[in-house]
Chain A
């Protein structure tokens, strides 16, 4: 066949009035000399000569007993099937969905059919967000959250209509919902086209597609506090052992209603204790990034009365009904940062009979509040995976949780192969293939991200760790 490489497909989503048609017109006027086909699901005012604009009504094909995870868009199969029948290959296809469309079946259409897979590849899902009005739609239109969750690229449009503080807050909010998307600000969807077209955002086959920084907006720990400690062996007290002392970080009022973060039994608490030079933001951030890795690493189990030493090791304190006393060995005076897996446990560090007050503290889970339905779970972890365990885990995970997992992507290091395994999924459907070899100087680090609703970070992390090769 003359035209072997798959045609890139850009899926444009966004709520009514967000600016999809503006972006589409912007793309089409700037793409002179390229033959693009546009599939529109609602009547837009696309006004460009020489491009193929096809109107098509949304039509859902529900496979497997109406399960939404397996539904595909029949109208797209029809139109895309016809668009394959050309002597000269198209340069690209843009699908503009309705403001109320679920992006899932649109994306799934490209997973279900050999012909679709051979002829097309999703380049990116681009979601246009109305910076002024999106927040109010979070509550009244569930589609909006889904469109954000599915995005590879998010355009915060009409950013001139809100203050820069509001825009920062919005960016943080959508970033916590979908930590893997690239967020761009725009006033009239006037973004450079190379940030929305041919970006390979979906298939991850380009290098370093997943920046480990995507982990930042959500963390495997809920609280950290910095304690100045002298040399010596101190007592680390968890729980209401001594009733006359207040909770040191009372006041961080965790609103857990219904969202239980006690993933382990009540008789365990994960902590990491690390020395830091100061509580300057960059130093704390560096320690935090180390702690993120520690929290997804193997734990050291610590029984009552046993000693822990500061360092990047996950210490799983074994509690007795929420209470426990441990020894913390400090060999040099300084500031020690304690990360707590669950921030609900009172923690005390008495020195000479007085509880040391933390000189700095932060709630991490508060940066993305517990009522946020849509969130991202990122896992970065060194080491090689056992292919069979990995396959079993991913298959089982997507079968049982596929309804809630909107998107999944990853670059994985599999034992016995020099190549990177690149993985992507939409709900229950996924595709994994080996792409290039790992570079000589490249760390074989596994990077995975799941975007969805009500995701249980600990279960993901532990499921992943069980896939590591022996």
Chain B
């Protein structure tokens, strides 16, 4: 846009503000509709605001949880949102009409985690140690026995065959159809986040200790990558399932998970000047976005020599990074309640 004339690097990208809107509180979660026309953002105080992604107009403000929303999940194909928070109810919202369609209780206190299976047929919801599956109409499909400790992360296997559930002390893989335990892996520390690779091979946790732990459930094999500056709260696989981006202090890194995995391989580094607070790979392309506590947001092509592609600094730290389905926009929520939608151009 503003052409770097004297040393115009071909691979420099532009992140420019498309629109920005302030919510009433900390942006605690965000999600895009499947068609990319709608962005939903939840404030920690409670409301979920539904935006027209093109221009930033507010379409609806959903009174999701008066005590405070924790999480939202946009359905992968329908115009449907599930939200959860401190009142302990999972709520289903028709985004077109801006109306609540259903509500369901789990009985475990706060709803902490909501995640749709890739085909959209099931919503997994966790509250404390409780875990249940719901249909898109809000009816309950199954309630699992409580986890040994509070559930700290959920991840659907992309193929949909199982749901991975992390708690302090391990990971359980529940079969998505028979609801029986497929696998159970012990891990003697806190797990903050889980992710599957798109090829369904790897299940990875980001941990308190601080480390990332990788399982190959098919082979009953596992790997441990430590050496992080601080706990690993954010991990993201690229679309191919080969590259795994991880936070963990100021130095993010990308592991090559091809073949036998990252052990013995040097990771590509994604350095920041402050502790990182978000990591997100694109959906269709190969850029990874990272954010740090000093307000910077960076775009990287980790496999390149000049990995850093773009750098912007926002006034407050990001809480969430969410790529539009076609990667044309990057939505950033921050601690002061501002939602930015940035346009990504080369």
Contact = CB atoms under 8 A, between A and B. Distances in A.
A61 interface: yes
A56 B26 CA distance: 23
A1 B317 contact: yes
A168 interface: no
A75 B129 CA distance: 11
A86 interface: yes
Contact of B150 (A54, A75, A115): A75
A82 B149 contact: no
B319 interface: yes
B149 A85 contact: no
A82 B86 CA distance: 10
B327 interface: no
Contacts of B109: 55-57
Nearest to B319: A85
Given A1-B335, A114-B230, A82 B190 contact: no
Interface residues of B, number: 28
Interface string B296-327: 00000000000000000000110100000000
Given A55-B109, A78-B112, A113-B231, A87 B44 contact: yes
Given A61-B168, A113-B208, A82 B70 contact: yes
A129 to B, nearest CB: 31
Given A57-B128, A114-B230, A87 B149 contact: no
Interface residues of A, number: 21
A59 interface: yes
A63 interface: yes
Contacts of B190: 61, 74, 77
B189 A87 contact: no
A87 B26 contact: yes
B300 to A, nearest CB: 24
Given A1-B293, A55-B109, A61-B168, A85 B26 contact: yes
A2 interface: yes
A2 B28 CA distance: 17
Contact of B168 (A54, A74, A87, A114): A74
A59 B316 contact: no
Nearest to A75: B150
Contacts of B68: 82
Interface in B1-40: 24-26, 28
A80 to B, nearest CB: 13
Contacts of A2: 316, 335-336
Interface in B58-110: 68, 70, 86, 109-110
A55 B336 CA distance: 27
Q: Which one of A55, A78, A87 has the highest number of Cβ atoms from chain B below 10 Å of its Cβ?
A: A87
B150 A59 contact: yes
A341 B319 CA distance: 61
B47 interface: no
B110 A82 contact: yes
B316 A74 contact: no
Interface string A69-106: 00000110110001001111000000000000000000
Interface in A90-147: 113-115
Interface in B98-152: 109-110, 112, 128, 149-150
Contacts of B337: 87
A77 B293 CA distance: 20
Contacts of B293: 1
Contacts of A61: 149, 168, 190
A74 B230 contact: no
A74 B44 contact: no
Nearest to B190: A61
Contacts of A114: 230-231
Interface in A359-418: none
Contacts of B28: 85
B316 A1 contact: yes
A59 B44 contact: no
A82 B150 CA distance: 14
B83 to A, nearest CB: 15
Nearest to B230: A114
Interface string A24-61: 00000000000000000000000000000011110101
Contacts of A115: 231
A86 B112 contact: no
A86 B149 contact: no
Nearest to B85: A82
A63 B189 CA distance: 7
A24 B231 CA distance: 34
Given A1-B293, A61-B190, A86-B25, A74 B317 contact: no
A74 B129 CA distance: 12
A232 B208 CA distance: 71
A88 B25 CA distance: 8
Given A1-B316, A2-B316, A75-B150, A86 B336 contact: no
Contacts of B86: 54, 82
A113 B207 CA distance: 12
Contact of B44 (A63, A78, A86): A86
Given A82-B68, A85-B28, A115-B231, 4 more contacts: A57-B109, A85-B44, A87-B336, A88-B25
Interface of A: 1-2, 54-57, 59, 61, 63, 74-75, 77-78, 82, 85-88, 113-115
Q: Which 7 residue pairs of A and B lie closest in terms of their CB atoms, listed nearest first?
A: A87-B25, A85-B44, A85-B26, A61-B168, A87-B26, A87-B337, A114-B230
Interface of B: 24-26, 28, 44-45, 68, 70, 86, 109-110, 112, 128, 149-150, 168, 189-190, 208, 230-231, 293, 316-317, 319, 335-337
18 contacts: A1-B293, A1-B316, A1-B317, A2-B316, A54-B86, A57-B109, A59-B150, A74-B150, A75-B150, A77-B190, A78-B150, A82-B70, A82-B86, A86-B25, A86-B26, A87-B25, A87-B44, A87-B335
